[in-house]
Amino acid sequence: MRSWQLQEAKARFSEVVKAAQQEGPQEISVRGEPTAVLVSRAEFDRLRRPRPSLVEFLRTSPLAGVELDLARDPTPARAVRL
């Protein structure tokens, strides 16, 4: 991610926008402190897209319906002296 000082970003705004479209997010700092990030509209839309819940994700998994053997071995792992 490229970093721009605010004054430079204001003076070269169209270049910052093009860089966000072609290279990805562009960081803007004020007095050396990171303050904002400019992202392309496509990246913004991707980030704002609703994500499925864990249940929905598991239901649509390619492994949905696969039988799992979850039986445990009943023998103790070791003898513990208390």
pLDDT for the residue 41: 97
Over residues 24-74, the pLDDT tens digits come to 999 999 999 999 999 999 999 999 999 989 999 888 888 888 888 888 888
Catalogue the E-assigned strands of 6-58: 26-30, 33-38
The structure's pTM equals 0.64
33-56 CB burial, b ≥16 within 10 A, e <16: eeeeebbbeeeeeeeeeeeeeeee
Q: What are the residue ranges spanned by the domains of the chain?
A: 2-59
For residue 56, give Cα distances in angstroms to 1, 9, 51.
33, 42, 9
2-59, CATH topology level: YefM-like fold (3.40.1620)
Q: Count of residues for the chain?
A: 82
CB atoms within 10 A of CB 6: 13
